[in-house]
Chains A and B, each alone.
Chain A
Amino acid sequence: MALLEIRDVTRHFGDYTAVDHVSISIEAGEFFTLLGPSGCGKTTLLRMIAGFDLPDSGQILLDGEDMVGTPPEKRPVHTVFQTYALFPHMTVADNIAFPLRMAGKPPQEIRARVTEALDDVRLPSFANRFPHELSGGQKQRVALARGLVNRPRLLLLDEPLGALDAKLREEMQIELINLQKEIGITFVFVTHAQDEALALSHRIAVMNRGNVEQIDEPSKIYGFPRNRFVADFIGKISMMDAQVMEAAPSHLKLDIGELGEVITAGKEGVKPGDKGVMAIRPEQVRISHPSNGAQLKNHFLGTVHDFLYIGDVTTYIVELSNGTHIEALLPNSAPGRATFFEVGDLVGVSWRHDAGIFLHD
């Protein structure tokens, strides 16, 4: 039985449907992420799990027990808020002790567990500080310690890294992964940052306009997006209109406008005549001098339209003969050289027969 089971949950705000018949089940010990753009319903869903909001219909089961009707303080679920929500008039130790005090634990036990929790988040000497004396990252850790100290069944994290700068964010991501692994508590993480979701999660539910578009492991979400929304939202991807000519279990043959034939990976439920797009990730596209690899399948000529030098890699935008643009990523492996190709250069682009994905309209 799943630890948390969200069954057909719907929530309206007036005419607006924030969450639309969503069903998700989360296993014990999982690091599960709700990912989506703002307004996709992920925060509403989180608030319903915490008990701050109630579904209009559907059930939220924790350990098989329906939580609807149980107030937030009675749910074995704690939340780490985006603003951290530390109590400003209490010390760090009192903040962390709060859930233990509310649970009626004896004072000695509270003291021991607060000390332990401070060690867990690497802030052993901060017990007597007040929240305003802490940096953003330290507040974040105190909020985490407070959420974890009473060992909830489920820890909800509402964009907890949103307010941190890039470097600190990466540090905290690694810490979060380790902490979750050590403590073994199930995390439900909400974010709109796809890189964060990919880096942290065991599984991701991609949400859009109140619906779940896909639930999968990060590599599946990235490598095999189920539809155009997921493909577009996660990472970079080039798309071109395509029609299916031939559909075999091992491969598809697509007709791409004036470009010609493209072979992609096989996919269930696709039949000849279907319309959609051929999608390909920039790192899957090989860019080379036009003469190289001309004998290969999926090889096309184009001119460099633009490029973006990022440091470790350069992204080239190549205009193909039919006028569509395709992105190709090239690592800058040669020292001291920013680009291998210049704008206007004639180049060849190619990709493996199983690298492209066909997505229905």
Chain B
Amino acid sequence: MSRSTRWLWSAAILAYAFLYIPLAIVVMYSFNDSRLNAEWVGFTLFWYEALLNNKEMLLAARNSLIIALSASFSATLLGTMAGLAIHRYKLKVLPVLVFTPVAMPEILLGVSLLLFFLQVLNLTLGMISIIIAHTTFCIGFVAVIVRARLQGMDESIFEAARDLGASPWQTFRLITLPLIMPAVVAGALMSFTLSIDDFVITFFTKGVGEPILPIQIYTMIKVAVTPEVNAVSTLLMLLTLIMIIIAGKLEARNMEAAGGEAGK
């Protein structure tokens, strides 16, 4: 190994250590038989058991899942439509409208949605308002991904479908949708992960009722960082990891079928 490659390797290892050691510590202490996050005492599943008995935490997790699933579903639907529309109609104002929420500071989005819900819609804050808020900021991400995929495709494929006898709807169902599917799935998974751990916008739009996971964790930490928080974080990490693996597998399978050409 030459000097410069050794240097590059150590830089890379340091960077990854910086990213992953904190995560590893959280996982480790979630199995630690001690109330303090200070020293390793012994292995236990006690904190997971405690978590299972923590009604408030379970409710928060359930709520967060419901929100993430509903918000990512509607954001994927609307975002895909937006991506298709931006690609098809070369209207200049459309991408600005769709992508602005992505770039907007979350705090601003949170405040403006809060005002909008209370003063314009006269909505009682709760699950519904959070789902709408999460959908709003996820649409842009889905649209970006879908449009990027469409941009790389040969436009005459869609014309060929029409030419060979497919109606616009058949063309969408048999050609367009299968070809953009990897982007749609990636957008859905991205929306899910963005939604499940969102703090700022959730904080502004949640009202006083239901507990929500990231906010529940924050409230617990205000008292003390208990190993219970480590346990719930570890589970959250596991869920995210599974989603990433699924996304990777789907993408690989789709690319195999599309021969890597759909993206060209």
Q: Which residues of A contact B (CB under 8 A)?
A: 50-52, 71-73, 77-79, 81-83, 85-89, 98-99, 102-103, 130-133, 146-147, 150
Q: How far is the CB of B262 from chain A (nearest CB, A)?
A: 5
Q: Indicate whether B17 reaches chain A with its CB closer than 8 angstroms.
A: no
Nearest A residue (CB) for B157: A85
Known pairs A73-B162, A78-B163, A99-B164; A89 contacts B156 (CB<8 A): no
Q: Is B248 an interface residue (CB 8 A)?
A: no
Contact indicator A79/B160 (Cβ below 8 Å): yes
Question: Are B257 and A73 interface neighbours, CB within 8 A?
Answer: no
Least Cβ distance of B46 to chain A in Å? 50
B172 to chain A, nearest CB (A): 13
- The answer to whether B164 touches A89 (Cβ under 8 A) is no
> Is A88 within 8 A of B162, CB to CB?
no
Q: Does B179 count as interface, using CB distance less than 8 angstroms?
A: yes
Give which listed residue, A71, A82, A88, A102, contacts B179 with CB less than 8 A.
Answer: A88
Taking a contact as CB atoms under 8 Å apart, the answer to whether B163 and A83 are in contact is: no
Q: Is the CB of A87 within 8 A of B175?
A: yes
Question: Distance (Å) between the CB of A159 and the closest chain B CB?
Answer: 12
**Across-interface contacts of B257 in A (CB, < 8 A):** 89, 130
Contacts A73-B167, A98-B165 given; 8 further ones with Cβ under 8 A?
A: A73-B164, A73-B165, A73-B166, A85-B160, A89-B178, A98-B161, A98-B174, A146-B164
B260 within 8 A of A: yes
A102/B164 contact (C-beta < 8 A), A72-B159, A81-B159 known: yes
B159 and A85 contacting across the interface, CB-CB below 8 Å: yes
4 tightest CB-CB pairs across the interface, nearest first?
A: A132-B259, A102-B165, A85-B160, A99-B164
Q: Which of B160, B162, B260 has the most CB of A within 10 A?
A: B160
Contact: A133 with B159, CB < 8 Å? no
Q: Indicate which residue in B161, B165, B166, B262 contacts A88 across the interface (CB closer than 8 Å).
A: B262
Indicate whether B107 reaches chain A with its CB closer than 8 angstroms: no
Looking at the assembled complex, report how far the CB atom of B158 sits from the nearest CB atom of chain A, in whole angstroms.
Answer: 9
B49 at the interface (CB under 8 A from A): no
A79-B160, A85-B156 known; A102 vs B259 contact (CB < 8 Å):
no
- Which residue of B is nearest A158, CB measured? B156
Whole-angstrom distance between the alpha carbons of A52 and B158 in the complex? 11
Residues of B within 8 A of A72 (CB): 159, 162-163
A150/B157 contact (C-beta < 8 A), A88-B259, A102-B170 known: no
Partner of B259, one of A77, A85, A98, A130: A130
In the complex, what residue of chain A is closest to B178 when comparing beta carbons?
A89
Task: Give the Cβ gap from B178 to chain A, nearest Cβ, in Å.
Answer: 5
Q: Which of B154-203 contact A (CB under 8 A)?
A: 154, 156-157, 159-167, 170, 174-175, 178-179
Give the A-B pair count, Cβ closer than 8 A: 76
Residue of A nearest to B263 (CB): A88
Interface assignment of B13: CB less than 8 Å from any CB of chain A:
no
Contact present for B157 and A132 (CB under 8 Å):
no
Q: How far is the CB of A113 from chain B (nearest CB, A)?
A: 14
A52 to B155 CA separation, bound complex (whole angstroms): 12
Q: What's the minimum C-beta distance from A10 to chain B, rounded to whole angstroms?
A: 22
Contact B261 A131 (CB under 8 A): yes
Closest A residue to B164 by beta carbon equals A99
Is A71 a contact of B162 with CB atoms below 8 Å?
yes
Bound complex: CA A72 to CA B158 (Å): 12
Q: Is there contact, CB below 8 Å, between B259 and A131?
A: yes
Which B40-54 residues sit within 8 Å CB-CB of chain A? none
CA distance in complex: A98, B162 (Å): 11
Interfacial chain A residues near B159, Cβ < 8 Å: 52, 72, 79, 81, 85
| Cβ contact within 8 Å between A88 and B258 | yes
B169 to chain A, nearest CB (A): 11
CA distance A85 to B162 in the complex (A): 12
Q: Min CB distance, A275 to chain B, in Å?
A: 47
Chain B residues contacting A51 (CB-CB under 8 Å) are 162-163
Decide if B156 touches A102 in the complex (CB within 8 Å).
Answer: no
- Measured between beta carbons, the chain B residues less than 8 angstroms from A79 are 159-160, 163
Q: Which of B161, B165, B167, B170 contacts A87 (CB 8 A)?
A: B161
Would you call A150 and B156 a contact (CB within 8 A)? Answer: no
Q: What are the residues of chain A within 8 A of B254 when measuring CB–CB? A: 89
Residues A78 and B164 in contact, CB atoms below 8 Å apart? yes
A142 to chain B, nearest CB (A): 12
B66 to chain A, nearest CB (A): 34
CB distance from A160 to the nearest CB of B (A): 12
Per the bound structure, the CA–CA distance linking A86 and B164 in Å amounts to 11
A71 neighbours in B (Cβ, 8 Å): 162
Give Cα A131–Cα B261 distance, bound, in whole angstroms: 9
Evaluate contact between A89 and B262: CB separation under 8 angstroms: yes
User: Which chain B residue has the least Cβ–Cβ distance from A82?
Assistant: B156
Expressed in whole angstroms, the Cα–Cα distance for A78 and B159 within the complex equals 11
Residues of B with C-beta under 8 A to A146: 164
Separation in Å of the A144 CB from the closest CB of chain B? 13
Instruction: Please report the C-alpha to C-alpha distance between residue A278 and residue B161 in the assembled complex, in whole angstroms.
Output: 50
A–B pairs, 17, beta carbons within 8 Å: A51-B162, A52-B159, A52-B162, A72-B163, A77-B163, A79-B159, A81-B160, A83-B154, A85-B159, A87-B160, A89-B262, A98-B161, A98-B166, A99-B164, A102-B165, A132-B260, A150-B164
A8 and B91 CA atoms in complex are apart in Å by 33
Contact with A along B132-168 (1 / 0, CB 8 A): 0000000000000000000000101101111111110
Cα distance, A277 to B180, chains bound together (Å): 58
State the Cβ distance, B62 to closest chain A Cβ, in Å: 38
